[in-house]
Structure 1
Amino acid sequence: MLSIIDKYILKRYLVTFTVMLLLFIPIGIMANLAEQIGKMIDNEAPLNEILWYYLDFTIYIGSLLFPIFLFLSVIFFTSKLANNTEIVAILSSGISFNRFLRPYFIGATIIAILMFFMTMFIVPQASVGFNEFKYKYLKKGKKDRVTTNIFNQLNETDFIYVSSFDPARKKGNNFTYERFTDKNKLDFKISAGNIRWVDKDSTYRLTSYRKRKIVGDSAIIESKRRLDTLFAFKIDDLTPVSYVAETKNLYELDKFIENQKRKGASNINAYILVKYKRWALPLAAFILTIIAVAVSSIKRRGGMGINLAFGILIAFIYIFFDKVFGTLAEQSGFSPLLAVIIPNVIFGILAFYLLQNAKR
């Protein structure tokens, strides 16, 4: 059963967080619009697509800033409680500091659950529209995927390669398809000058087609100027977009990662990092809440301004650590799990230290 004080603090927690979102997200939209409006006009982006983009933008960017908004919200309203000597009155009534933290943990739990469902199911869908619009109108002409020297392992026996791939035309150059037997001997090899997906016929069109089939100690050669055929892979499997992991929900992402591991994808760490970051985000709600309460529950001479300045500094340091270890995991083979764990452990230790100091 929640006491009057619990309800009072929990209400302030949730209301301040909501107001923070409602205030800063429109500012973010206007800043983005002011920056990108020229590109939208130059590339003739339709109004309906712009409106959908900003709906997706709100969900996508809002989810990224959830921890920061949460952190600053707790500092803001807790500092007001401290400046009004409400915290002194609460603790003087015989309530322990640990008991005082109870509504904060309840609020953090509510936000953590919201974060979990947002990042696992809602944000991936918004990420599709957000990124597609960005590369279609705002970064027109820039690559959203690797397009040269693409190698893919479809399964244990089948391998494909193209020297270059044009996603707009769904066309790859210098295509090779190799199948090996269980004894790692070449079964057949298909090569073509290019491969193109034909939407109208739902087939692959190979030009300068050549197939070399191994039979015993000899080879059977088949060649054609053009061949329409079917393959078990999708044309986009040649090279998925760089943001593909962001567009997968909880269940799709696990299957996608397993599929990419089987194929031997070179950028598998980037996909695993996305998965671990999603699971770690709700934990960040508790760590940042503890740090924010510990920093702002003490009445200081500089008032709320000092608390907010210190809080913003910690927020930037948190983002810095997250980015550094994330980059290490994506580009240097550093463990994605450690890349997510280390920043949270560091700030977890900081939270414990600040909390013990605040209790004293």
Structure 2
Amino acid sequence: MKILDWYILKRYLLTFFVMLLLFIPIGITVHLAEKIGKILENEAPFGEVMLYFLDFTIYFAHLLFPLFLFLSVIWFTSKLANNTEIIAFLSSGVSFSRFLRPYMIGASVVSVFALVLGLYLAPEASKGFNDFNYKYLKTGKSAVDNQNVYRQIDDTTYIFVSSFDTKQKRGQNFTLEYIRDNKLVSKITASSIQYVEKDSTYRMNTYVKRYIGDNNDIIETARRKDTLFAFDLEDLTPVEYIAETLRYGELNRFIEKEEARGSSYISRYKLVKYRIWSLPVSVFILTIIAVAVSSIKRRGGMGVNLAVGICIAMVFVFFDKIFGVMAAQSDFPPLLAVWFPNMLFGILAAYLLYNAKR
């Protein structure tokens, strides 16, 4: 039986990677045809363009990972069924569970690959991909929520700017408040604040600082004042895709910091964190569904199996996107949003596997 195990395992892995190699160039070609006008218009350097498409390759592969896997398993399993190879396996006394074992070994290999991709490679690729997009392809669009920014820096410090320019690192109508024991201790206001990289200082115009006393207040004013603060304006207004660019340890620390600051994007950040672990599990679920659907020889041949498989894959992607949007835009729990498609399709996988055994 080891010969048959190796035969199925090699077909599983080979078909999956061939599917990736076939679809990725198609994706690059379509994307290039769509974006080439803006790339030339904005005179993007050739080296940056090459790095962009390398990042796009990894980003694209990670994004559509479950779909590629599902279709590849259906493809080669349908070929086995049409050639009556599966009937020969089962007729020799091999149970369906035993027949499924090399698929599970292959799924384990692919899930480890997916985990490494999500933990290390995809964050770097996502950073390059999104940075290039907003630098050359999405001119005029902002990647940050830069209007009416209100953040909690620590237990006692709160800031506000009415608007923020990420390129100039400049905020308008700046306010900083120190609050202890629910009492306002001091308050700083300025018509504008700008981060000076050369000196790592902040330059404020029309500076006013008020110390709140028990009997009277002390007011300090200046037309312009340079000072140090224990925060970076870029940290106060992170780009909306920042979570996708952080490795797992960095992502955990970033989420803790953003929760303390009361970030409105915290659900989006948690979605990225939970998806890193849900993707490897979905590999096993989709493998079982694909085998159960395509292991039966049908009158319509491989085309019927592929049609059924594509429909199931589209429904899976639909549920994943819908619940992701719900969690990002509402109070729907991100953990449930990420794992609900796996739970739902896990039940479907168990049902299909039971009927396939029969």
Aligned CA-pair RMSD: 0.8
Quick check: 2:203–2:225 contact (8 Å CA) kept in 1?
yes
Report whether the alignment pairs 1:357 with 2:345.
Answer: no
Cα deviation, residue 238, structure 1: 2.1
In structure 2, the residue matched to 1:79 is 78
> Which amino acid is 1:138 matched to?
L
In structure 1, the residue matched to 2:64 is 65
Quick check: 2:240–2:265 contact (8 Å CA) kept in 1?
no
In structure 1, the residue matched to 2:3 is 4
> Which amino acid is 1:232 matched to?
A
Q: What SS is found at the alignment partner of 1:54?
A: helix
In structure 1, the residue matched to 2:247 is 249
Work out the percentage of aligned pairs sharing the same amino acid. Answer: 61
Q: In the aligned structure 2, how far is the partner of 1:267 from the partner of 1:29?
A: 30
Q: 1:347 aligns with which of 327, 341, 345?
A: 345
- What's the TM-score once normalised by structure 1's chain length? 0.98
Cα deviation, residue 66, structure 1: 1.1
Cα deviation, residue 184, structure 1: 1.6
Q: What SS is found at the alignment partner of 2:93?
A: coil
Runs of 4+ in 1 over 6 A off after TM superposition: none
Q: What SS is found at the alignment partner of 1:161?
A: strand
Q: In the aligned structure 1, how far is the partner of 2:196 from the partner of 2:18?
A: 51
Cα deviation, residue 61, structure 1: 0.8
Q: In the aligned structure 1, how far is the partner of 2:115 from the partner of 2:197?
A: 38
Q: What SS is found at the alignment partner of 2:219?
A: strand
Q: Superposed, which structure 2 residues align to 1:196-345 within 5 Å?
A: 196-345=194-343
In structure 1, the residue matched to 2:44 is 45
Q: What SS is found at the alignment partner of 1:218?
A: coil
> Which amino acid is 1:304 matched to?
M
- What's the TM-score once normalised by structure 2's chain length? 0.99
Q: What SS is found at the alignment partner of 2:217?
A: strand
User: Deviation digits for residues 253-310 of structure 1, max 9, x if unmatched?
Assistant: 1111110111111221111111111110000000000000000000000000000011
Q: What SS is found at the alignment partner of 1:58?
A: helix
Q: In the aligned structure 1, how far is the partner of 2:98 from the partner of 2:353?
A: 13
Cα deviation, residue 216, structure 1: 2.4
In structure 2, the residue matched to 1:13 is 12
Unpaired runs of 5+ residues, structure 2, are none
Q: Superposed, which structure 2 residues align to 1:27-38 within 5 Å?
A: 27-38=26-37
Q: What SS is found at the alignment partner of 1:301?
A: coil
Q: Superposed, which structure 2 residues align to 1:84-123 within 5 Å?
A: 84-123=83-122
User: Deviation digits for residues 4-60 of structure 1, max 9, x if unmatched?
Assistant: 110000000000001001110011001000000001011111111000000100011
Q: What SS is found at the alignment partner of 1:101?
A: helix
Q: What SS is found at the alignment partner of 2:230?
A: coil
User: Deviation digits for residues 204-227 of structure 1, max 9, x if unmatched?
Assistant: 100000000123221100000001
> Which amino acid is 1:170 matched to?
K
> Which amino acid is 1:342 matched to?
F
